[in-house]
């Protein structure tokens, strides 16, 4: 739609004083233009409206027009909306004529929604462009619907329902659905959805903050999501993807074991006298030979030793701890504990994100198949009662994110005195400022066996020095440290390419790359939640089906986004770092760091979403001198350790930075890897954007 069309469609500009049109097609030649501002420069209100406006400019054809707000009593911004295109579900509109039931027409395609929303009959915040966020919120309580002329789909803006929901609209007169030709395929969403009919609040939780704990009382809407149960059929349980042609190359990696009297490494899974059922399950999982990290970790764990293991991404660390733990549990026997008020798991596994802990749970189901061992997974963003019900049915291996784990323990649903194995996956992340406090709290519970009375196992592809020291507090003094390849090294099966791209040209470069790679699954990492949705939406406008995942999306939408990406329905997933670690998704051929991360460790994890299990992959990073200078030197090391080409310009940038001739952006040189809760922000190191991971 050309510009003047929008002017005609959007109606009286005077009503839209505070929002410039966000025409994503415009080049940032006008630095004052809305789009040439960085996404993050928007305030919440303004951004939501801008997104709203930007969505207008996304629509193709003349089908969408916010006629501008019609006064009514002046308090109600009523937006005549000819109907967005393809918004999927979610944005609730109530017919101004009948005014009672909202007959919803759920549009196909767009699964996203915008801004904040309310649902279930509450008046949403009219998306007035002239009211502030607070004004809209207060309006949302008592504003009523105002009749319009009845000809148009008069919509009292019920506020967008947010992620994965989107837009319901009905023509006020004939009930026929408004023709929608919205942008196809965008399954992202904006802002914050609401749950349970309560008003939306833009709330970003710090990861690990308790759903059920103190925060829950003051936090927004009650979490009601209950994830669909995983398939029970054997084929689905053992579903896996093929190892790649470079799988055998793993054995070329040098393995170092630090510590006293390490047991000998395995040569094959048969080297251990595992029970028959487990041996069969390993074969069903398609594991014909152990990877290096498994060869060394399995005997160490079976020998009862504590372990810190560092191996490249995609090299089988999950099985490296699951197989020996299950083997030992089979040997020692487990207490059958169904439907007891308090469950006493033998093993607790924790990881930093909900999607990753669920993935570990699904892996555990493979190895316990046909045994009496019961794995359970609990994580934030889901109904707490659902987690409790899952645990109550019996729990030998508890897979949990920190926030929900501590909540369930504090509710007395889990007893710790029977814990024999404590596993921290992505351990460096679990121990740094992100979840370190939660982990300390976990091992400090009175009934948690002290470190000399349990086995503590830590795994990650990266282990910064300071975290190695922290780990010592959790491990027995005679723990063993296994390193496959270089500590923190990138997987050499990932072809890395760093491009110098300044902020305003990233968008075009991204589209150029995505158009060139077609439908190959691509993970695009950005540095803020807003940008994740914005870019996903922008890509849809470019006819590149994309979806988004980040910590402020509702869990249901996060899981839908991941499912659509895994299935190829949306071959592009735009993500924040919530997807940086651990996710094991088949056929991810490309990782694009639209924004490079704040630490080199996170870079290694992000590019490790591709090139897994002997498969190859490609990673492109957009290096912006103004913000990424601090990464130049660490990138050179990672590239050269992984036998990748080091661009000359990068060495020059590193030299400039070392010589202090290039500014180092404080925003990005924050060393903290974790969430930053109030009061924890390091002086001079602005906190990274917080998002709820667990
Ligand atoms: N011995 C094996 N033989 C064949 N496939 C394996 C083997 N071990 C693991 N895999 C497969 O390799 C993939 C990567 O494994 P996993 O996710 O455990 O890697 P990881 O080292 O934990 O990666 P990350 O560091 O990203 O978390 C999985 O699909 C897993 O099923």
**Structure confidence by residue, pLDDT tens digits, 315-334:** 999 999 999 999 999 999 98
Closest Cα to residue 72, out of 167, 151, 149, 175? 149
- Pair of tokens at residue 420: 């024999």
Q: State the distance from the centre of ligand 1 to the C-alpha of 317, rounded, in angstroms.
A: 6
Percent of residues in the chain assigned helix, strand, coil, to nearest 5: 35, 15, 55
Strand pairing report for 572-575 and 521-525 = parallel
Q: In what order do the strands lie in the sheet with 93-95?
A: 66-70, 78-81, 154-157, 93-95
Phi first, then psi: what are they for 94, rounded to 5°? -115, 135
Strand pairing report for 397-400 and 347-350 = parallel
Q: Is this complex's ipTM strictly greater than 0.85?
A: yes
**pLDDT value for 688:** 54
> Which residues approach ligand 1 with their CB closer than 6 A?
240-241, 243, 286-287, 290-291, 294, 311, 313-319, 461, 582, 584, 608, 612-613
Closest Cα to residue 553, out of 85, 113, 210? 113
Q: Rounded to an integer, what distance in angstroms lies between the CA atom of residue 226 and that of residue 234?
A: 23
Pick the atom of ligand 1 nearest to 608's CA: 26
- Pair of tokens at residue 256: 């170092």
Residue identifier of the C-alpha nearest atom 23 of ligand 1: 314
Cβ–Cβ under 8 Å, residues 61 and 181: yes
What is the residue whose two structure tokens read 């619907």?
Answer: 145
Residue identifier of the C-alpha nearest atom 25 of ligand 1: 313
Mutate to test the pocket of ligand 1, among 293, 314, 615 (most ligand atoms within 8 A of CB): 314
- Pair of tokens at residue 563: 């499912």
Instruction: CATH 3.40.50.300 in the chain: give the residue spans.
Output: 234-484, 494-658
Q: How many CB atoms lie within 10 A of CB 260?
A: 9
Pick the atom of ligand 1 nearest to 359's CA: 17
Q: State the distance from the centre of ligand 1 to the C-alpha of 316, rounded, in angstroms.
A: 3
Residue identifier of the C-alpha nearest atom 15 of ligand 1: 316
- Pair of tokens at residue 488: 């923190």
- Pair of tokens at residue 258: 């630090």
Phi first, then psi: what are they for 290, rounded to 5°? -75, 150
Pick the atom of ligand 1 nearest to 583's CA: 26
- Pair of tokens at residue 109: 């395609």
**pLDDT value for 24:** 39
Pick the atom of ligand 1 nearest to 460's CA: 25
3-state SS string for 645-677 = CCCHHHHHHHHHHHCCCCCCCCCCCCCCCCCCC
Pick the atom of ligand 1 nearest to 605's CA: 26
**pLDDT value for 558:** 97
Distances from the Cα of 639 to the Cαs of 180, 260, 309, 339, 626, in angstroms? 48, 33, 22, 52, 21
Taking the complete model, does pTM exceed 0.90, yes or no?
no
Query: Which residues touch 238 (CB under 8 Å, ≥6 apart)?
Result: 284, 285, 286, 366, 369
Cβ–Cβ under 8 Å, residues 378 and 400: yes
**pLDDT value for 691:** 75
| CA dihedral (359, 364, 366, 370) positive or negative | negative
Closest Cα to residue 365, out of 391, 396, 392? 396
Mean pLDDT (10-residue bins), the chain, 694 residues: 36 37 42 44 41 37 35 34 34 35 34 37 39 47 37 34 35 34 43 37 41 48 91 95 92 96 96 94 97 98 98 97 98 82 96 97 98 97 97 96 98 97 98 93 98 98 94 96 95 97 97 96 97 97 96 96 95 97 96 97 98 97 96 97 96 91 54 37 43 78
Query: Which residues touch 599 (CB under 8 Å, ≥6 apart)?
Result: 671, 673
What is the residue whose two structure tokens read 């400022």?
Answer: 433
Mutate to test the pocket of ligand 1, among 588, 613, 614 (most ligand atoms within 8 A of CB): 613
CB burial of 142-180 (b: ≥16 within 10 Å; e: otherwise) equals ebebbebeeebbbbbbbbbbbbbbbbbbbbbeeeebbeb
Structurally, at CATH architecture level, domain 494-658 sits in 3-Layer(aba) Sandwich (3.40)
User: For 656-667, what is each residue's pLDDT tens digit?
Assistant: 998 876 666 544
What is the residue whose two structure tokens read 């991810």?
Answer: 588
**pLDDT value for 422:** 98
Angle CA(141)–CA(145)–CA(149) in degrees, nearest 5? 160
Phi first, then psi: what are they for 618, rounded to 5°? -125, 140
- Pair of tokens at residue 114: 């915008």
Q: State the distance from the centre of ligand 1 to the C-alpha of 575, rounded, in angstroms.
A: 22
Burial status of residue 252 (CB atoms within 10 A of its CB: 0-12, 13-18, 19 or more): exposed
Q: Rounded to an integer, what distance in angstroms lies between the CA atom of residue 442 and that of residue 281?
A: 31
Structurally, at CATH architecture level, domain 234-484 sits in 3-Layer(aba) Sandwich (3.40)
**pLDDT value for 449:** 98
Q: Rounded to an integer, what distance in angstroms lies between the CA atom of residue 44 and that of residue 267?
A: 56
Distances from the Cα of 378 to the Cαs of 12, 250, 334, in angstroms? 51, 33, 20
Cβ–Cβ under 8 Å, residues 310 and 336: no
Q: Rounded to an integer, what distance in angstroms lies between the CA atom of residue 406 and that of residue 524?
A: 32
Closest Cα to residue 316, out of 282, 271, 346, 358? 282
**pLDDT value for 139:** 42
Q: What is the DSSP string of 291-314?
A: -HHHHHHHHHHHTT--EEEE--TT
**pLDDT value for 27:** 43
On the CB side of 550, CA atoms within 13 Å amount to 33
Distance between alpha carbon 138 and the CA centroid of its chain, in Å? 32
């Amino acid at each position: 739609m050309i510009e003047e069309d929008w002017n005609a469609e959007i109606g009286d500009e005077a009503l839209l004083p505070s929002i410039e049109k966000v025409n994503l097609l415009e080049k940032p030649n006008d630095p004052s233009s809305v789009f040439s501002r960085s996404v993050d420069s928007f305030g919440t209100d303004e951004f939501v409206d801008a997104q709203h406006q930007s969505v207008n400019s996304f629509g193709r054809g003349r089908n969408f027009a916010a006629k501008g707000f019609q006064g009514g009593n002046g308090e109600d911004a009523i937006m005549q909306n000819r109907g967005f295109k393809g918004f999927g579900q979610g944005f609730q509109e109530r017919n101004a004529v009948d005014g009672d039931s909202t007959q919803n027409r759920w549009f196909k395609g767009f699964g996203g929604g915008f801004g904040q929303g309310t649902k279930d009959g509450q008046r949403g915040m009219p998306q007035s462009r002239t009211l502030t966020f607070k004004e809209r919120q207060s309006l949302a309580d008592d504003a009523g619907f105002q009749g319009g002329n009845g000809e148009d789909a008069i919509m009292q803006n019920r506020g967008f329902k947010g992620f994965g929901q989107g837009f319901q609209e009905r023509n006020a007169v004939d009930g026929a659905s408004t023709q929608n030709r919205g942008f196809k395929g965008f399954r992202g969403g904006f802002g914050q959805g609401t749950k349970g009919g309560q008003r939306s609040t833009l709330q970003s939780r710090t990861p690990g903050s308790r759903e059920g704990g103190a925060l829950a009382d003051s936090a927004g809407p009650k979490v009601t999501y209950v994830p669909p149960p995983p398939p029970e059929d054997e084929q689905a349980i053992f579903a896996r993807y093929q190892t790649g042609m470079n799988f055998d190359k793993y054995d070329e990696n040098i393995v170092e074991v630090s510590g006293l009297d390490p047991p000998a490494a395995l040569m094959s899974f048969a080297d251990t006298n595992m029970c028959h059922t487990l041996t069969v399950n390993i074969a069903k999982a398609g594991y014909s030979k152990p990877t290096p990290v498994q060869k060394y970790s399995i005997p160490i764990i079976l020998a009862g030793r504590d372990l810190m293991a560092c191996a490249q991404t995609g090299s089988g660390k999950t099985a490296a701890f699951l197989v020996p733990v299950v083997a030992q549990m089979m040997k020692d026997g487990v207490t059958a504990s169904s439907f007891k008020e308090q469950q006493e798991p033998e093993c607790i596994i924790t990881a930093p994100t909900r999607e990753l802990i669920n993935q570990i749970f699904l892996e555990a189901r493979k190895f316990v198949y046909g045994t009496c061992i019961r794995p359970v997974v609990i994580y934030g963003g889901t109904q707490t009662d659902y987690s409790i019900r899952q645990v109550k049915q019996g729990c030998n291996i508890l897979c949990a994110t920190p926030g929900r784990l501590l909540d369930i323990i504090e509710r007395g649903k889990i007893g710790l005195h029977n814990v024999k194995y404590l596993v921290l996956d992505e351990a460096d992340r679990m121990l740094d400022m992100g979840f370190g406090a939660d982990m300390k709290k976990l091992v400090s519970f009175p009934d948690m066996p002290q470190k000399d009375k349990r086995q503590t196992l830590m795994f990650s592809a990266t282990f910064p020095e300071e975290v190695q020291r922290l780990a010592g507090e959790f491990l027995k003094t005679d723990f063993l440290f296994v390193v496959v390849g270089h500590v923190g090294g990138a997987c050499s099966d990932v072809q890395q390419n760093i491009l110098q791209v300044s902020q305003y040209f990233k968008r075009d470069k991204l589209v150029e790359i995505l158009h060139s790679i077609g439908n190959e699954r691509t993970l695009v990492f950005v540095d803020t939640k807003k940008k994740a949705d914005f870019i996903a939406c922008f890509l849809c406008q470019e006819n590149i089906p994309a979806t988004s995942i980040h910590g402020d999306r509702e869990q249901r939408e996060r899981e839908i986004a991941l499912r659509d990406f895994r299935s190829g329905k949306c071959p592009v997933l735009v993500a924040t770092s919530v997807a940086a670690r651990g996710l094991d998704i088949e056929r991810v051929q490309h990782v694009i760091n639209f924004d490079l991360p704040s630490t080199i460790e996170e870079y290694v994890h992000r590019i490790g979403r591709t090139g897994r299990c002997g498969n190859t992959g490609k990673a492109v990073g957009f290096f912006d001198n103004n913000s990424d200078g601090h990464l130049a030197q660490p990138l050179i090391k990672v590239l050269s350790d992984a036998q990748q080409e080091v661009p000359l310009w990068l060495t020059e940038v590193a030299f400039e930075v070392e010589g202090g001739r290039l500014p180092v952006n404080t925003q990005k040189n924050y060393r903290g890897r974790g969430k930053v809760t109030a009061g924890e922000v390091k002086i001079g190191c602005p906190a990274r954007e917080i998002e709820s991971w667990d």
